[in-house]
Amino acid sequence: MTSTSTATDGPAGAPTEDAPAGGGGRARRVALYVLGRLTTAVVSLGAVIVAGFFLFRILPGDPVRAMTEGREVSLEQEAELRRQFGLDQPLWSQFFDYAGGLLRLDLGVSFQYREPVTELILERLGPTLLLAGTGTIVAALLGLFLGARAGWRPGGRGDRVNTAVALFFWSVPTFWLGLLLIVLLASGRGFFPGLFPTSGMVAPDATGIEAVLSTARHMVLPVVTMVAVIYAQYLMIMRSSLIDEKGADYLTTARAKGLRDGLVRRRHAVPNALLPTVTLIFLNLGQVVSGVILVETVFSWPGLGHLFYSGLHVPDLGLVQGLFVLFAASVILMNLLADLVYPLLDPRVRP
């Protein structure tokens, strides 16, 4: 008996009409996915640059008057300063000069410091990464740990206490909490001495191991302030994700195999519940560059957040614009990395 050929028959090894596209189609989808995310990031950054430039131009105040405050300056000298900083040019001309500088990685010159903005950022970047990075890591670990325990037994005493405390600190204004910690733990009252420094990063005369210990003491209050305010984000998302995972079939199977309840939570439930927190973690990592502006300002921490706050008073247009673009670019970059990493962790969203 001879077999009847069909329309889908072909040479051995060749794909048929009903066969899947194979590796080539998969690679094309991945390339389109990455290209789409890159395009979105570039467009977002461009919008930030345009919005940031014109936004800071409408701030009240005259940069030249602020720079010359308290000094006898003639109208001719003010006009010369405007010419030096390009403030006498039309707004559209200033924008194109600024955009051209960005393409050369030139963020301009600070009005109040009379230094390139790039150099000022590099000087303050280290302290910000140290403070904000430490606070973000501690907050993430604490929030995920407490969120996992609260979500595994929702409605229990531990869940109610952890959730209430986290939401309380989340609702407290950052600057108020920082000032309160300074009053309680730094200023000292009566026989109770101040335990921690109120400002700065390190004692002026400290060197070597003394400088390291001094920096650690200066970090205690700002890190505690940061952690108290932001750890609730991780706790609530982890709690919600774990509650959703509790009824999954794979957990029932794990229990049927005789695994202990704690082992089921750690090995099976928590790794899958972590997936929704990936985007939040990446976004907060992007915000590490900006630091916590209010925390750095309250504790006079010599970082980018405090630098940005000081630039708003002049207003120092070159400085605040450069920092604004840096802060936005770091968040956009981390969001892009989250979009690229998430499909690797969760097969359900792969292109």
Q: In sequence order, what DSSP letters do the residues of 127-142 get, joined into one string?
A: HHHHHHHHHHHHHHHH
CA angle in degrees (0–180, nearest 5) for 150-146-289: 135
Q: How confident is the model at residue 224 (pLDDT cuts 50, 70, 90)?
A: very high
Domain-located, residue 211: yes
Look at residue 156 and give its three-state secondary structure: coil
Q: Does residue 6 surpass a pLDDT of 60?
A: no
pTM more than 0.85? no
Q: In sequence order, what DSSP letters do the residues of 278-289 get, joined into one string?
A: HHHHHHHHHHHT
Domain-located, residue 219: yes
| CB distance 338 to 279 below 8 Å | yes
Look at residue 248 and give its three-state secondary structure: coil
What's the number of domains the chain is made of? Answer: 1
Domain-located, residue 329: no
Rounded mean pLDDT, 177-197: 77
Tens digits of residue pLDDT in 258-281? 777 777 777 777 777 777 777 777
Tens digits of residue pLDDT in 107-129? 888 877 888 888 899 988 889 88
Which of 68-72, 94-98, 219-223, 342-346 has maximum average pLDDT? 219-223
Task: Quote the pLDDT of residue 12.
Answer: 44
Task: Quote the pLDDT of residue 210.
Answer: 86
Domain-located, residue 102: no
Task: Quote the pLDDT of residue 193.
Answer: 67
- Other CB atoms within a 10 A radius of the CB of residue 123 amount to 15
The torsion of the CA quartet 46, 47, 48, 52, rounded to 10 degrees, works out to: 110
Domain-located, residue 333: no
Q: Residue 244's domain is classified under what CATH number?
A: 1.10.3720.10
Which of 21-35, 147-161, 248-262 has maximum average pLDDT? 147-161
Domain-located, residue 150: yes
- The burial class, CB within 10 Å (0-12 / 13-18 / 19+), for 273 is buried
Task: Quote the pLDDT of residue 244.
Answer: 80
Mean residue pLDDT of the chain comes to 79
Task: Quote the pLDDT of residue 223.
Answer: 92
The more confidently predicted of residues 179 and 89 is 179
Domain-located, residue 20: no
Tens digits of residue pLDDT in 279-306? 777 777 777 776 678 888 888 888 888 8
Q: How confident is the model at residue 7 (pLDDT cuts 50, 70, 90)?
A: very low
Rounded mean pLDDT, 81-99: 76
Which of 73-82, 209-218, 245-254 has maximum average pLDDT? 209-218
Q: Does residue 58 surpass a pLDDT of 60?
A: yes
Task: Quote the pLDDT of residue 43.
Answer: 92
Range of the domain at 144: 126-313
Rounded mean pLDDT, 169-198: 79
Domain-located, residue 246: yes
